[in-house]
Amino acid sequence: MLDSGPDWRAPSPRLLTMRRLEVAAITLVVAIALFVALVFVSVVGAVIALVVALALGGLLELFVERRVHAWGYAEREDDLFVRRGVMFSRLSVIPYGRMQFIDVTAGPLERLFGLATVRMHTAAAASDARIPGLAADEAARVRDRLAELGEAQAAGL
């Protein structure tokens, strides 16, 4: 099978926690801002806005969970498989020999959770392959493994 099997791995469970926190923080900020802006005009309107904003945030939390669970990657013999997306689901196949460089990045929030994003670059701009939310040691392992495989199979343009 192409996009399922025992060799598929998922990002760290901490990624879901992080994404949930992000959504919760944004929801709260928006809800409070709306409430404060409307409370002087009409208290009822402000309460309704608050409830709607919180409900939307709740829905978004559900969606975020599906999105995080859609991420996955598999290291096959000659290619790296990365899958992502709920609405637009994508399965990218990147031959190791085509990788030009790999970078590992970790933003401030990611560092707080001990996570990192691994990104693979090929000569084609369209092949954007990244795996977010890997535990720092797993990210380093993936990077070293991909670099090693890429070196062994490198092909010219």
Partner 1 sequence: MSEGWTRLHPLSPVVRLGRAAIAIFVLLLPAVFGGNIARDYPQLGVVALLGLIGFVNWLVTRWRIDGDDLRIETGVLRRQSLRYPLKQVQAIDIVRPGLARMFRVAELRLRMGGATGGTARLAYLNEREVEPLRARLLALAHGGEDAEAPTPEEDDREEVLATLPTGRLVASIFVSDVGIVAEAVLLGLVLGAVFAPSAAGGIVGGGTAEIVGVATLLWRRFNQEYHFSLARGTDGLRLRGGLVALSAETVRPGRVQAVRMVEPFIWRRLGWCRLELDLAGRQRRKGEDETTGRQLRALLPVGSRALALELLELVVPDAPQPTERAPRRVLWKSPLRYRFLAWGRSDRAVVAQSGRIRRVTVWLPLEKVQSLRRVEGPLQRRLRLASVHLDTAGRALHATLRDRDRSEADAALSALIPLARAARRAPP
Q: Which residues of the chain form contacts with partner 1 (CB under 8 A)? A: 2, 78-79, 87-95, 97-98, 100, 121-127, 129, 155, 157
Using alpha carbons, select from 77, 70, 65 the residue that is nearest to residue 7: 77
Strand ranges across the sheet with 101-105: 101-105, 115-121, 129-135
| Residue number, 17 or 92, with CB nearest to partner 1 | 92
| Residue number, 6 or 108, with CB nearest to partner 1 | 6
C-alpha to C-alpha distance for 127 and 148, rounded to whole angstroms: 20
For residue 141, the minimal CB distance to partner 1 (Å) is: 22
For residue 3, the minimal CB distance to partner 1 (Å) is: 8
For residue 92, the minimal CB distance to partner 1 (Å) is: 5
For residue 7, the minimal CB distance to partner 1 (Å) is: 15
Residue 140 contacts residue 128 (beta carbons within 8 Å): no
| Residue number, 17 or 153, with CB nearest to partner 1 | 153
| Residue number, 66 or 90, with CB nearest to partner 1 | 90
Cα torsion 46, 47, 53, 57: sign: positive
Cα 141 → chain centroid: 18
Structure-block tokens of residue 119: 């990104």
Amino acid symbol at 124: A
